Amino acid sequence: MLALSLLLASGAVTGCGGRATTHHKPGTTHEQASGNTGTLLTADDGSGHRLREVPAEGAPEVRLTARPDSEDGWNLQLAVENFRFTPDSTGGAALPGAGHAHLELDGRKLARLYGPWFHLPAAQVPEGAHTLTVRLYADDHTAWAVSGKPVEGMMQLTAAASGSHPGGHSHGATPPPEQADRTVTITVRDGRVSPAPARTELRRGERVALRVTSDRADTLHVHGYDKELALPARQEATLILTADRTGLFEVETHESALILTQLLVR
Per-residue exposure over 132-142, b if at least 16 CB sit within 10 Å of its own CB, e if not: bbbbbbbbbbb
- Alpha-carbon gap, residue 102 to 118, rounded angstroms: 11
Residue 72: the pLDDT is: 82
Residue 161: the pLDDT is: 63
- Alpha-carbon gap, residue 211 to 200, rounded angstroms: 13
Residue 35: the pLDDT is: 56
- Alpha-carbon gap, residue 207 to 182, rounded angstroms: 7
* Element spanning 245, H or E: none
Residue 37: the pLDDT is: 84
Residue 162: the pLDDT is: 55
Peptide bond into 195 cis (omega under 30): yes
pTM over 0.85: no
**One pLDDT digit (tens) per residue for the chain, 266 residues:** 444 444 434 444 443 333 434 344 434 444 444 456 889 999 999 888 999 999 999 999 999 998 888 778 889 999 999 999 998 888 888 999 999 999 999 988 889 999 999 998 888 888 888 899 999 999 999 999 999 999 999 998 888 765 444 443 333 334 444 468 888 999 999 999 999 999 999 999 898 989 899 998 888 989 888 888 888 888 888 888 889 989 999 999 988 889 999 999 99
Residue 173: the pLDDT is: 37
The three-class DSSP label of residue 119 is: strand
Q: Could you count the other beta carbons within 10 Å of the beta carbon of residue 247?
A: 12
- Alpha-carbon gap, residue 240 to 177, rounded angstroms: 8
